[in-house]
Amino acid sequence: MENYLVQKKRQEMQIKSYLGITLLVVISMGFYTFSNWKEFSAVKKLLVANANYISALKNEVVDEKANYDGEKFNFDALNKEIETKLESIFPLGNQYTELTKQVDVFEEDLSTKNSVFEVSNIDYQEVEKGEFYSILPMRMTIRSSSANFTKFLHWVENSGALSDRVRLMDITSIRLNFQEEENRDEIISFTVQMNAYFQ
């Protein structure tokens, strides 16, 4: 008799428990599923947007590459022109023989009977290697008129210009002596310490 009642009560309890658990599971899983579904839907939308973007990017890349390839000929031509000019201005090696020739040509162009410019000595020193460029130090002893001395300074100061093709150089020190005037033109004897640059 009691078992029956107990079972009856138990059944009622079970109904309540199942009902409670079912509701709990439905609510929690409903929340879980809803929130994840929202995220899932958002990702799906992003995928669609990405697909469209990828398609547009692909077209852009093709166009950009075609554009670059079309202009590459001009770019390469300019690079080759710069390279050719740099061979004498900023060469790959110290190229001291070419530099010596350049000094000789400059001397020949400048020197006249009335306005002297004589390079009596060129002394190349130990090469100094750097990260981006290297240096060939050199010392020159020159006897020159005042006007030609100024021209020599301009020659060095403007060296390295692509338009002139003169080896890139600079002067680190000058020691000069003024001599007695000859035919009213002052003669300057100077020793100049210079750097010639190369790659």
Site for other proteins in 105-144 (CB under 8 A): 132-133
CB of 83 to other proteins, least distance (A): 7
For residue 108, which amino acid is it? Answer: E
Residue 29 sits in the site that holds other proteins (CB under 8 A): yes
Select 101 or 133, whichever has its Cβ closest to other proteins. Answer: 133
Select 114 or 163, whichever has its Cβ closest to other proteins. Answer: 163
CA distances from 1 to 4, 14, 100 (A): 5, 20, 128
CB of 48 to other proteins, least distance (A): 10
Residues 63-82 within binding reach of other proteins (CB under 8 A) = 64-65, 67-68, 71, 75-76, 78-82
CB of 96 to other proteins, least distance (A): 18
Select 26 or 105, whichever has its Cβ closest to other proteins. Answer: 26
Residue 26 sits in the site that holds other proteins (CB under 8 A): yes
Q: Which residues pair with 182 in a beta bridge?
A: 185
Q: Using CA atoms, how far apart are residues 122 and 150, in angstroms rounded to an integer? A: 19
Q: In angstroms, how far apart are the furthest CA atoms of the chain?
A: 151
CB of 75 to other proteins, least distance (A): 4
- Candidate segments 83-91, 96-104, 113-121, 136-144, binder of other proteins by CB under 8 A: 83-91
CB of 56 to other proteins, least distance (A): 9
Residue of 50, 112, 120, 125 interacting with other proteins (CB under 8 A):
50
